[in-house]
Amino acid sequence: DTEVTQTPKHLVMGMTNKKSLKCEQHMGHRAMYWYKQKAKKPPELMFVYSYEKLSINESVPSRFSPECPNSSLLNLHLHALQPEDSALYLCASSQVQGGGIYGYTFGSGTRLTVV
């Protein structure tokens, strides 16, 4: 299995809702990442987990809350989002933090719309 699977593919949520994005990989990778990508922009790093511990938080607002329950799963909990948070949210994984010799494997993303 050489994939990173993200669910749901699309999500529409109100500003008062609580929702979660899920990411799963079975490649034995020990680093997992959340990125945010706006249209026609490169991915922006949000969080990095290394060996299931939060390693990097790029000053992301607290309305985004990451969780890594085990080495294969990564969640992003969303609460009280703003319309400007609408974006493609990408999960990625790599052998080790930084990428190792094979770089990152990205999922197809969750397209989030906040209304």
Partner 1 sequence: QKEVEQDPGPLSVPEGAIVSLNCTYSNSAFQYFMWYRQYSRKGPELLMYTYSSGNKEDGRFTAQVDKSSKYISLFIRDSQPSDSATYLCALRPSGNTPLVFGKGTRLSVIA
Q: Which residues bind partner 1 (CB under 8 A)?
A: 4, 6, 31, 33, 40-43, 45, 48, 50, 55-56, 88, 90, 92, 96-99, 101-109, 111
Q: What are phi and psi of 85, to 5 degrees?
A: -85, -5
Judged by beta carbon, residue 5 or residue 15, the one nearer partner 1 is 5
Burial label for 16, CB within 10 Å (0-12, 13-18, 19+), is exposed
In terms of Cα–Cα distance, which of 38, 39, 36 is closest to 90? 36
Judged by beta carbon, residue 28 or residue 98, the one nearer partner 1 is 98
Judged by beta carbon, residue 9 or residue 18, the one nearer partner 1 is 9
Kindly state the smallest distance separating residue 74's Cβ from partner 1, in Å.
Answer: 14
Judged by beta carbon, residue 84 or residue 101, the one nearer partner 1 is 101
Kindly state the smallest distance separating residue 103's Cβ from partner 1, in Å.
Answer: 5
Q: What are phi and psi of 95, to 5 degrees?
A: -55, -50
Burial label for 73, CB within 10 Å (0-12, 13-18, 19+), is middle
Kindly state the smallest distance separating residue 32's Cβ from partner 1, in Å.
Answer: 12
